[in-house]
Amino acid sequence: MTRIFHAAAAAVALAVLAPLPALCAITSKDPAQVTAGRYNADPAHTTVQARIDHLGFSTTTVAFDKITGGFDYDPAKPELAKLDVTVEAGALDSGMDARDGDLKGPGFFNVAAFPTITFSSTRLVPVDATHARVEGQLTLLGVTKPVTLDVTFNGFGTGMMGDTRAGFIATAAIQRSDFGMKTYLPAIGDKVDLLIDAEFIKQK
């Protein structure tokens, strides 16, 4: 009986999942095919990772996954695209509660005084068909500095709920000391490598 139950459950799952490839997929990797409008970040599929050297022995990764904001885009005028993103600093996760507490404290992100990190674009420079540089202003610990994102366009298409989506990967590097975060320098690295993985949903 148990085998019959599991077999039936598997059959139902396959029947439910089978139509998904036809319903949700990237339909184009050409940014010119992205329809004009406002796209907001999908919080379930958008994350920022910050990677930093630890004593030369290893690299520590801190993830931020509470992100809001989005971009406005018109394929006829890509250079006028506007991106604005807010990251909740207190939602950081380094994989260790004790370290998270230190990172949230005044020596690092000081989330009590500066609960958010923001990025606002000032210029988009196309590089090739699927790559661009997004120049903008990053505000961290109350300090605003110019930062450039190297962006790869993953594709445009339809999500599982029938919504319209666009996906991107972006990288950047900053010096944390530029923003006043100098705790444990130089033992813990100054350079912070950023990796952003994001899906955006078109607003109706």
CATH code (residue 159): 2.40.128.110
Helix locations, the chain, DSSP H: 2-17, 20-23, 97-104
How many domains are there within the chain? 1
Residue 18 lies inside a defined structural domain of this protein? no
Between residues 135 and 19, which one has the greater pLDDT?
Answer: 135
**How many Cβ atoms sit within 10 Å of the Cβ of residue 101?**
10
- Domain-located, residue 153: yes
pLDDT tens string 76-117: 999 899 999 999 999 999 999 999 999 999 999 999 999 999
Q: Would you say residue 133 lies in a domain? A: yes
Q: 111: number of CA atoms within 13 Å, CB side?
A: 13
Is 6 domain-assigned?
no
In a domain, 14, yes or no: no
Has residue 22 been placed in a domain?
no
| Mean pLDDT in residue range 113-131 | 96
Locate 111 and state its tokens: 């989330």
* Range(s) of the domain holding residue 52: 27-202
Within a domain: residue 5? no
What sign does the CA torsion over 180, 87, 173, 98 have?
positive
Give the E-state strand segments of 112-186 in sequence order: 116-128, 131-140, 143-158, 164-175
* Residue 16 pLDDT > 90: no
User: Does 58 reside within a domain?
Assistant: yes
Instruction: Find the mean pLDDT for residues 13-42.
Output: 76
Cβ atoms 190, 50 nearer than 8 A: no
